[in-house]
Amino acid sequence: MAPLLEVRDLVKHFPLDGGMLTRLLPGRPGRVVHAVDGVSFVVEPGETLGLVGESGCGKTTTSRLILRAIEPTAGRIFFEAQEITGLSPAELLPFRRKAQIVFQDPYTSLNPRMTVERIVGEPILVHRLVASGELRARVRTLLEMVGLQSEHAARYPHELSGGQRQRVGIARALGLGPRLIVADEAVSALDVSVRSQILNLMTALRERLHLSYLFVSHDLSVIRFVSHRVAVMYLGRLAEVAPADELFKRPLHPYTQALMAAIPTIGDGRASIFDQPERLLEGELPNPIDLPRGCRFAGRCPFRFDRCAEAEPELKEVETGHTVACYLYE
């Protein structure tokens, strides 16, 4: 079976010519921010791919590129075996119905001047999926699907709790009958108890509607709960991709190991393979404008050697289904 989504060598560079960044960094024309720099992965039908990494690594930019919310600098994107990279806005309409997004902030992503009924119903009317007389019934069906009551349709976003607002955002995304949902930090703004409810809801909807998710998060516990496979991103590149269970049992890349070591735990005092001090990171992310030569992680890696500073490692399969970009495994 062909993958639902395939991304090949995706690149996004933001030029610094003009605007505030140029005024802050004068005298260097032609400089760019390397937000995404050659990312490739697939999402299978019915699968959740977790995309995880530090803030500023390019996760959100990648998700918006996939939806054509912003235009890529280079690379190709295929959805249901059709390339969507060069499609015009009119040609993208069928794709828009099949790929939707749930945003991080459930308040600012909803129009405060619209009722819930209008928020959820607007995409359905734009794409002319139902007649106007059938819209109210369709909206109420969607609200019930995400655990809201029919009376919530008449309320405004400020009259709802954070969890209820995120349920509205999910209902809006489901209104067009999508096959892929991009969840961009969809639970990071919610309380822990509400977060678990939303994750359980999204998992149940995946099984019920045979959805696929690209789940973007910096929270490894969330990624582990929802994902079938996990892609670890560092400074615009993928460092490691593996099935979720395997990645959390035996991470290979030093950066992934450092992320695991940073997870706070309450245990019985027995040592873990991740409790070694050398696995904890020091220093900050390199400047995405002036990238270091060789491996981008080398300056923070406790296992670096001479070759790491000479050339950037490619993402290669070292075990079945487990790929890593690191010279330690060559």
pLDDT digits (tens, 9 = 90+) for 34-79: 999 999 999 999 999 999 998 889 999 999 999 999 999 999 999 9
90 φ/ψ sector (left φ>0, alpha ψ -120 to 50, else beta): alpha
Q: How far apart are CA 298 and CA 90, in angstroms?
A: 44
Structural domain count, the chain: 1
Quote the CA–CA distance of 203 and 211 in Å, as a whole number. Answer: 9
Cα–Cα distance measured from residue 107 to residue 110, given in angstroms and rounded to the nearest whole number = 6
Dump pLDDT digits (tens) for 130-181: 888 899 999 999 999 999 999 999 999 999 999 999 999 999 999 999 999 9
Q: Kindly state the average pLDDT of the residues 268-293.
A: 66
Distance CA 321, CA 153 (A): 45
The percentage of the chain sitting over the pLDDT mark of 70, rounded to a whole number, equals: 91
Average pLDDT over residues 98-126: 93
- In angstroms, the CA 235 to CA 312 distance is 12
**By CB neighbour count within 10 A (0-12 exposed, 13-18 middle, 19+ buried), where does 19 fall?**
exposed
Per-residue model confidence (pLDDT) at position 290: 86
Q: Which of 59-73, 214-228, 284-298, 311-325 has the lowest mean pLDDT?
A: 284-298
CATH number of the domain at 225, please. Answer: 3.40.50.300
Q: Which residue has the tokens 């390397």?
A: 34
Strands 5-15 and 32-43: antiparallel
Sheet containing 74-79, strands listed edge to edge, beginning at the edge strand earlier in sequence: 32-43, 5-15, 74-79, 82-83
Q: Encode pLDDT of 191-219 as tens digits.
A: 888 999 999 999 999 999 999 999 999 99
pLDDT range class, residue 24, cuts 50, 70, 90:
low
User: Tokens at residue 193, please?
Assistant: 């108890």
Query: How far is the C-alpha of 16 from the C-alpha of 213, rounded, in Å?
Result: 33
Tell me the CA distances in angstroms from 11 to 7, 77, 89, 237, 287, one per residue in order. 10, 11, 20, 10, 17
Q: Provide the residue range defining the domain that includes 99.
A: 5-329
Residue 64: other Cβ atoms inside 10 A: 18
With pLDDT > 90 as the criterion, what percentage of the chain qualifies? 71
